């Protein structure tokens, strides 16, 4: 006697599911953009920035990369209120994702920056570009291009890791799946749906990041 | 002791009246003869029963058992049980009473008998004094934390209107943490969980706002033991009026007994 799959509950819980998907997309969109900006600033500091600023950034990166995401999230959501910093679950989840991706992308982007040949800096300087201009036009874009696949993967990993924000009752896709599962007792089907949606989101996200790469790096062939 | 003579009298009367009693000896008679009452208590369900630092069971149910022994004037033999085997212990005559946070339902009533309620056990909405909520209607616009999929979650979700936001946490610890860290001001949970929070003596105290579902605890005994039942009911009624049950409730649940228990 096989297990009888039953997906009859989907229409009833569609709003919950869509809301969850919306929150997950929101989290990854805000998290990825802000996280990468934070990562670029941190990477610049660690690779080229003022010497005094390097140790605190290094400490931040090591702290985040060597502790579990869930603990960071709990620290922000359950811990910070003791210090008077009160955030709702969505703000806490967003902040946790930005901080987390910021640290990982910092290291990835720094690798790209440090792989830049010295001649490229000198070329920028010989064109009378300021240090910031050189970084912006001559160093950063080729560096990002070099590490774009690694950065894309990290963003996808962070999106999948966002599932744990359901632990602080942020109403993402996993929260929706857990909620539905606690009502219809159809754990198997519910998590099949969640899995398929996550898979779809990952594929879409990779596709979007690849497309963004094409837009950001038009000189793809020249750089190779 | 007037009380004892009353109970002895009640027992005697009940024995006389109980001509239809089952073939085996009347439980109350046996207890009085041997001077020992055997009572099943939980050891894995604080604050009703857990193992204390001296490895002896302690808790609401144990105090209740001791109270009964004291009022009957007999020794108490504590028999630790689990929630799965507490009723079989009674049915196989290993114990005279089960005081193990036992709720009443039709299935159980078919196989054993119950005395009056001796302990409150309910789900409700809890929050600090500063929040003025007295009924489910008052919840409008409020945020309520709850453990996802729990009885209180399912029951309360059916009761509330659209204006109420429910925050659902993975387990009771999540709900407790959210409450203690001020992430939610109201929680829907059991009085036992609220008692566990109160035990930590927090700044924000969860006071009961209104009941969601009430299923108090009863003492279980074998069917046909009407004399014993009458004697225990007498003790419970007395303990309710003379404040001794109130004291047990304050000690283990941190709350006064509900009026209607």
Residue B116 · residue B61 · CB < 8 Å:
no
- Establish if A6 belongs to a structural domain: no
CB of B223 within 8 Å of a chain A CB? The answer is: no
Return the residue of A nearest to B167 by Cα: A169
B169 contacts A169? CB cut-off 8 A: yes
- Establish if A1 belongs to a structural domain: no
Q: Quick one: which of B226, B220, B182, B184 has its CA closest to B104? A: B220
Mean pLDDT on B44-68:
90
Mean predicted lDDT score pLDDT of chain B: 87
Nearest-angstrom CA–CA distance, B21 and A144: 89
Half-sphere exposure of A77 (CA within 13 A, CB side): 31
Chain A residue numbers with beta carbons less than 8 Å from the beta carbon of B182 are 81, 86
- Domain count of the fold of chain A: 1
Given a cut of 60, is residue A1 above it in pLDDT?
no
Q: Quick one: which of A147, A150, A125, A149 has its CA closest to A137? A: A125
pLDDT at B46: 83
- Interface confidence (ipTM) of the complex: 0.74
Paired sense of beta strands B143-147 and B186-190, if any: parallel
Sheet with B44-45, strands from edge to edge, namely B44-45, B49-51, B57-58
CB of B181 within 8 Å of a chain A CB? The answer is: yes
pLDDT at A156: 96
Mean pLDDT on A17-38:
96
Tokens representing residue A120 in the block: 């490229």
Tokens representing residue B86 in the block: 């507490």
Of the residues A169, A178, A184, the best mutation for testing chain B's interface (the one with the most B CB atoms within 10 Å of its CB) is A169
The helix-helix angle for A10-47 and A187-216 (nearest 10°) equals 40
Nearest-angstrom CA–CA distance, A76 and A91: 10
Q: List the domains of chain B with CATH numbers.
A: 2-120+216-253 (3.40.190.10), 122-214 (3.40.190.10)
Tokens representing residue A38 in the block: 């934070």
Residue span of the structural domain in which A126 resides: 12-223
Indicate the SS3 state at residue B156: helix
- Establish if A3 belongs to a structural domain: no
CATH number of domain containing A203? 1.10.3720.10
Return the residue of B nearest to A89 by Cα: B183
Residue B227 · residue B26 · CB < 8 Å:
yes
Chain A residues with at least one Cβ partner in B under 8 Å: 74, 77-79, 81-82, 86, 88-89, 166-169, 175, 178-179, 181-183
- Establish if A189 belongs to a structural domain: yes
Given a cut of 60, is residue A6 above it in pLDDT?
yes
Residues 6+ apart with CB under 8 A from A185: none
DSSP code for A136 = I
Residues 6+ apart with CB under 8 A from B215: B103, B104, B121, B122
Tens digit of each residue's pLDDT (9 = 90 or more) over B165-205 = 999 998 888 899 899 988 999 999 998 888 888 877 788 88
B149 contacts A78? CB cut-off 8 A: no
Given a cut of 80, is residue B4 above it in pLDDT?
no
Return the residue of A nearest to B171 by Cα: A167
Most confident of A167-171, A204-208, B13-17: A204-208
CB of B168 within 8 Å of a chain A CB? The answer is: yes
Residue A65 · residue A103 · CB < 8 Å:
yes
- Establish if A7 belongs to a structural domain: no
Tokens representing residue A9 in the block: 């509950």
Q: Report the 10 Å Cβ neighbour count for A217.
A: 17
Mean pLDDT on B2-8:
63
Nearest-angstrom CA–CA distance, B125 and B203: 18
Mean pLDDT on B209-232:
92
Q: How many CB pairs under 8 A join A and B?
A: 44
Tokens representing residue A206 in the block: 């990779």
Tens digit of each residue's pLDDT (9 = 90 or more) over A87-146 = 999 999 999 999 999 999 999 999 999 998 989 888 888 999 888 888 988 899 989 999
Chain A residue numbers with beta carbons less than 8 Å from the beta carbon of B170 are 166-167, 178
Q: Quick one: which of B120, B88, B100, B96 has its CA closest to B46? A: B100
Mean pLDDT on A165-181:
92
Sheet with B122-127, strands from edge to edge, namely B165-169, B143-147, B186-190, B122-127, B207-214
Residue B179 · residue B196 · CB < 8 Å:
no
Ranking B43-57, B63-77, B223-237 by mean pLDDT, the lowest is: B43-57
Residue A2 backbone dihedrals phi, psi, to 5 degrees? -80, 165
Nearest-angstrom CA–CA distance, B82 and A177: 33
Return the residue of A nearest to B203 by Cα: A82
Mean pLDDT on B86-105:
91
Q: Which of B145, B148, B183 sits opposite A81 (nearest CB)?
A: B183
DSSP code for B205 = -
Rounded to 10 degrees, the C-alpha dihedral B124/B129/B131/B136 comes to 20
Residues 6+ apart with CB under 8 A from B137: none
Model confidence at B21, pLDDT cuts 50, 70, 90, reads: very low
Extended beta strands in B61-206, E state: 75-81, 97-103, 113-119, 122-127, 143-147, 165-169, 186-190
Mean pLDDT on B210-225:
91
DSSP code for A130 = -
Residue A93 · residue A170 · CB < 8 Å:
yes
């Amino acid at each position: 006697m096989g297990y009888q799959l039953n997906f009859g509950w989907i229409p009833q819980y569609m709003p919950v599911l869509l809301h969850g998907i919306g929150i997950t997309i929101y989290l990854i969109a805000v998290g990825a953009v802000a996280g990468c900006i934070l990562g670029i600033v941190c990477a610049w500091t660690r690779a080229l920035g003022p010497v005094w600023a390097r140790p605190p950034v290094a400490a931040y990166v090591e702290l985040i990369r060597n502790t579990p995401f869930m603990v960071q999230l709990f620290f922000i959501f359950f811990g910070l209120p003791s210090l008077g910093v009160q955030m709702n679950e969505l703000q806490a989840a967003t902040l946790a994702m930005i901080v987390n991706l910021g640290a990982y992308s910092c290291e990835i982007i720094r690798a790209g920056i440090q792989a830049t040949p010295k001649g490229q800096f000198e070329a920028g300087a010989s064109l009378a570009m300021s240090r910031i201009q050189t970084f912006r036009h001559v160093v950063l874009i080729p560096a990002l291009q070099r590490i774009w696949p690694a950065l894309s993967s990290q963003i996808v990993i962070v999106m999948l890791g966002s599932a744990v924000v359901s632990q602080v009752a942020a109403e993402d896709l996993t929260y929706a799946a857990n909620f539905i599962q606690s009502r219809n007792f159809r754990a198997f089907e519910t998590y099949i749906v969640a899995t398929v949606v996550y898979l779809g989101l990952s594929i879409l996200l990779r596709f979007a990041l690849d497309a963004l790469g094409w837009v950001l790096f038009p000189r793809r062939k020249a750089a190779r | 002791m007037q009380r004892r003579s009353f109970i002895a009298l009640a027992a005697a009367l009940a024995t006389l009246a109980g001509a239809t009693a089952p073939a085996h000896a009347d439980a109350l008679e046996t207890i009085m003869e041997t001077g020992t009452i055997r009572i099943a208590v939980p050891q894995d369900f604080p604050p009703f029963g857990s193992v204390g630092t001296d490895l002896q069971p302690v808790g609401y149910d144990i105090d209740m058992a001791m109270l009964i022994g004291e009022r009957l004037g007999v020794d108490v033999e504590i028999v630790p049980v689990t929630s799965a085997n507490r009723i079989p212990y009674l049915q196989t005559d290993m114990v005279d009473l089960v005081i193990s946070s036992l709720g009443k339902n039709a299935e159980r009533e078919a196989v054993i008998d119950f005395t009056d309620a001796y302990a409150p056990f309910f789900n409700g909405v809890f929050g600090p004094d500063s929040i003025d909520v007295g009924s489910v209607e008052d919840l409008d616009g409020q945020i309520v934390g709850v453990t996802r999929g729990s009885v209180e979650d399912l029951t309360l979700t059916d009761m509330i209107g659209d204006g109420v936001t429910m925050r659902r946490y993975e387990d009771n610890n999540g709900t407790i943490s959210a409450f203690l860290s001020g992430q939610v001001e109201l929680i829907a949970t059991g009085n036992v969980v609220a008692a566990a929070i109160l035990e930590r003596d927090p700044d924000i105290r969860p006071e009961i706002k209104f009941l969601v579902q009430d299923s108090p605890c009863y003492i279980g005994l074998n069917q046909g033991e009407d004399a014993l039942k009458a004697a225990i009911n007498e003790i419970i009624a007395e303990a309710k009026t003379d404040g001794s049950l109130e004291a047990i409730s304050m000690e283990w649940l941190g709350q006064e007994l509900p009026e209607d228990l």
